[in-house]
Structure 1
Amino acid sequence: MNTRLDAQYWTDRYKQNQTGWDVGSITTPIKQYLDQFNQKEVKILIPGAGNAYEAKYAFENGFQNVYVLDLSSYPLGKFKKSCPSFPDSQLLQEDFFDHEGEYDLIIEQTFFCALDPELRKAYVSKMHSLLKPAGRLVGVLFGIEFSHDGPPFGGVKEEYLPLFREKFSNVTIEPCINSIIPRKGSELFLKAVK
């Protein structure tokens, strides 16, 4: 079994605060994307959500149809304490690859980089299958190679584009111009439309 798909592995990382990808709040690129997105009724999925700062921000800013998915119950419990009015029915503890549903928007924040690169092709296929026609996959990917064995796992735009274009006809991946200072030059913004 791939340890990266093991709930206990992720629970232990959260309990031991081994979450170097976690910046403690919603990241600027996703915040600015949501701020200009006016369709508050859209159905949103945030997979591998961890502490789910993006879900809290979206929910508190009028997006009521947000679903938070994580393999581990631990970060979901922490999220519920930080956002007590969030509906329990929209907190999903399950394996992303087993999840069924249809969404208008899927927000990617540190989930892609948490998965073993061997799972990236399956990730793209699953994302495509979870989106409604014209649905969007939007988010931040690491645009650097890491010197350690992950997670997180990195990569480069030239490697990502063909991967996403296998399933999505409309894909853009560009350097983030609004990253927080410690991540300047190391993040890419992904937009893929089904």
Structure 2
Amino acid sequence: FPMHGHHRRSVFRWSSLLLVSLALLVLSTPAACLMQGPGGSTLETAARRAAREKWDGMWQNGIAPGQAFDASGVEPAFAALFADEEAPPESRRFGASLPPLPRGRALVPGCGRGYSLVALARAGFDQVDGLEISPSAQEAAVEYVSTQKDLVDVNRIDVRVDDFFEFSATGAAGSYDLIYDCTFLCAIPPERREEWAAQMKALLRPGGELVTLIFPVFEGRPDPVHGEVGSGPPFNMSPQLVKNLLEPHGFTNVLLEPVPPELLARRPLAPEFIARWVNTAGSGDCAAE
């Protein structure tokens, strides 16, 4: 999905806007609030509010299909996983010997305009949930999904405004068969990555799968697995970074392949890797606190 020059620049503008806004929030927050600890602290509440306001501001200003992080449609590599299920092994793009993705209930955190929600519903999932911290993003997703009612039963799709890290409180723990992460891990603050992995573990049923489209993997930059955070969002990713996050939580990698150029969703920016991770150790008690 090619993007014009001003669209490419906008991807990196959201990084500077968010960082400046968060810095102003911290400077304006009373010291007593900043000193409070975890577990529903004022600091966590303020951070969540700041994230919601900043992302919401971006969507209110207008994000057109194909602009910034919007790929104009479902990521081709993700769609290829489902197409492979109908193809003979020798014609499959990824994981020729792998079983089909588990069906049932699916979750997409940071679902954006909701392209992947429609793709999952069309692939036969009974219930597809999308999460957005921004009310304006949620409205954009609901609007898009409503335009697809001739192609899919949109009653199976639910888009809600919620915080991924607090989502287990809604009774969703251990209930999902599949979760899809694309441009979500790369957008969250690096210090929350361990929470991301624990929450993925908590939300997936034993045997459920997490599909990650690992993006952006910037060539020529230090591998973030060694602690080089860099600027963002989007923060630089790497397959080894994601592996190091998920394996301690009982995830087993069954697919990890580079996405070929013809299937790149955000071709002008950086390479992508597609990966499948099976929750092999059960849901446990790893819900994010």
With normalisation by structure 1, the TM-score equals 0.86
Percent identity over paired residues: 23
Q: Decide which of 54, 57, 72 is 1:12's aligned counterpart.
A: 57
Equivalent in the alignment of 2:19: none
Does the 8 Å contact 1:175/1:185 carry over to 2?
Answer: no
Q: What's the offset of the Cα at 1:190?
A: 2.1
Q: Which 4+ residue blocks in structure 1 deviate beyond 6 angstroms?
A: none
- Paired residue total: 194
Corresponding residue number in structure 2 for 1:55: 117
CA positional deviation for 1:106: 0.2
Match of 2:234 in 1: 152
- Tell me the residue number matched to 1:179: 264
What residue in structure 2 maps to residue 71 of structure 1?
A: 133
C-alpha distance 2-175 of structure 1, shift in aligned 2 (>3 A): farther
Greater CA drift, 18-27 or 68-77? 18-27
Q: Which moved more, 1:114-123 or 1:181-190?
A: 181-190
Q: Secondary structure at the match of 1:170?
A: strand
CA drift at 1:4: 8.9
Q: Summarize the Cα distance change of 1:23–1:53 in structure 2 as closer, same or farther, 3 Å threshold.
A: same
Secondary structure of the residue that 2:58 maps to in structure 1? Answer: helix
Instruction: Compare CA radii of gyration and give the structure with the larger one.
Output: 2
Q: Residue deviations 1:117-137, cap 9 Å, x none? A: 111111000001000010000
Q: Distance in 2 between matches of 1:152 and 1:36?
A: 29
Change in Cα spacing, 1:27 to 1:89, as seen in structure 2 (3 Å) is closer
CA distance, structure 2, for counterparts of residue 57 and residue 96 of structure 1: 21
| Equivalent residue number for residue 98 of structure 1 | 166
Q: Secondary structure at the match of 1:182?
A: coil
The aligned counterpart of 1:136 is 209
For 1:75, the aligned partner's letter is A
| Whole-angstrom distance in 2 between the partners of 1:83 and 1:162 | 35
Indicate the residue corresponding to 1:114 in structure 2. 187
Q: Secondary structure at the match of 2:249?
A: coil
Contact kept, 8 Å, 1:4 with 1:116, in 2: the verdict is no
SS in 2 for 1:128: helix
- Alpha-carbon contact 1:5-1:71 (below 8 Å) kept: no
Bigger mean CA deviation after superposition, 72-81 or 58-67: 58-67
Superimposed CA distance per residue, residues 30-88 of structure 1 (whole angstroms, 9 cap, x where no aligned partner): 11113345678510001111111100222244434111111112122112222225339
Larger fraction in strand:
1
Whose helix proportion is higher, 1 or 2?
2
Could you give the per-residue CA deviations for residues 90-141 of structure 1, whole angstroms, max 9, x where no partner exists? 2221100111211000011111111011111110000010000100000201
Backbone CA RMSD of aligned residues:
2.8
Structure 1 residue 29, shift from structure 2 partner: 0.8
**Which stretch shows the higher mean deviation, 130-139 or 72-81?**
72-81
Q: Which runs of 5+ in 1 are unaligned?
A: none
Asked if the contact 2:126–2:156 (Cα under 8 Å) also holds between the matched residues in 1, the reply is: no
In structure 2, C-alpha distance between the alignment counterparts of 1:91 and 1:53, rounded to whole Å: 12
164-173 or 99-108, larger mean C-alpha shift:
164-173
**Please, which runs of 5 or more residues in structure 2 have no aligned partner?**
1-45, 86-99, 223-228, 280-289
Distance 1:183 1:68 in 2: 27
Please tell me the residue identity of whatever aligns with 1:99.
F
Asked if 2 retains the 8 angstrom alpha-carbon contact of 1:44 and 1:66, the reply is: yes
